[in-house]
Amino acid sequence: MNHLDALESQSIYILREAFRTFDKLGMLWSIGKDSNALLWLVRKAFFGHVPFPVIHIDTSYKIPEMIAFRDRMAKEWGLDLIIGQNTEALAAGMNHTKGRVTCCTALKTEGLKATVEKHGFTGIIAGIRRDEEGTRSKERVFSPRGQNAEWDFRDQPPEFWDQFKTDFAPGTHVRVHPLLHWTEVDVWRYIRRENIPVVELYFSRNGKRYRSLGCAPCTAPIESRAATVDEIIDELESTRTSERAGRAQDKEAEDAFERLRAEGYM
């Protein structure tokens, strides 16, 4: 069993535990490479099926190629797609100029919260990874959220021997993180091995490519000549720049991302 086989088996185990545990389970699909790989793992775990809805929180500011990719893949893979949007905040004119963290909270965190409530989800699968960022590094695979979707990072449950938090109080929900133990380059290696489709924005055009995808106003491409998956893997093997370097909302304050996540951001 090689490294990718081991990562894959562990993720499948987690997905099956989640499917068994939660009556109302859904998966967040950000259209990014990680959630595409995750969707692929779901089909591996359930022998070609995606036995729960896939949720996209649409801020309306996503890069247009992302939305086109979403609609194409949803049709091709026969997904039960739920699109969540905080239309109230958008109608009131919310955008990043009101403050990037404020905007993220309103359109992503609140948008997600409303969708979870509306559909009564008790389990939400998200494709975050420990190597992305410091607070995500401290996450649990099964991460309980309070009545208000908040993350109590000061008192997380113990989690060991692959025995996850599968018991939880009514009114709360659990975030499930099947990719937590993967790294950025692991995901790309898996995309290469399995031929998983990704948005073209990841590949270099005119000397620039997106390394991480988000909303257009807050996500910048990086300098890169990597135009194929092979070249991206080579680039990542040697880079010392962090993956979220192009994501502006992380940098507003020392603990901007921590506060975002404590309130329920993915």
- The 8-47 site mask, x for binding another protein (CB under 8 A), equals xxx-xx--xx-xx-------------------x--xxxxx
Residues near another protein (CB under 8 A), total:
59
Site string for another protein, 58-97 (x = CB under 8 A): ----------------------------------------
249 within 8 A of 101, measured Cβ to Cβ: yes
238 touches 209 (CB < 8 A): no
Alpha carbon distance 116, 119 (integer Å):
6
Burial of 26 per CB tally in 10 Å (0-12, 13-18, 19+) = buried
The token duo for 37 is: 């790989």
Say if residues 151 and 181 touch (Cβ distance below 8 Å): no
Q: What is the chain's alpha carbon radius of gyration, rounded to the nearest angstrom?
A: 18
Interface residue with another protein among 80, 88, 117, 194 (CB under 8 A) is 194
CA 65 to chain centre: 18
Per-residue tokens: 179: 């990719």
Judged by CB under 8 A, the residue of 24, 102, 165, 263 near another protein is 165
Among 75, 119, 138, 208, binds another protein (CB under 8 A): 138
- Shortest Å, Cβ 135 to another protein: 5
Contact positions vs another protein (CB under 8 A): 1-6, 8-10, 12-13, 16-17, 19-20, 40, 43-49, 51, 130-131, 133-135, 137-138, 140, 153-154, 156-161, 163, 165, 167-169, 183, 185-186, 189, 192-194, 240-242, 245, 254-255, 258
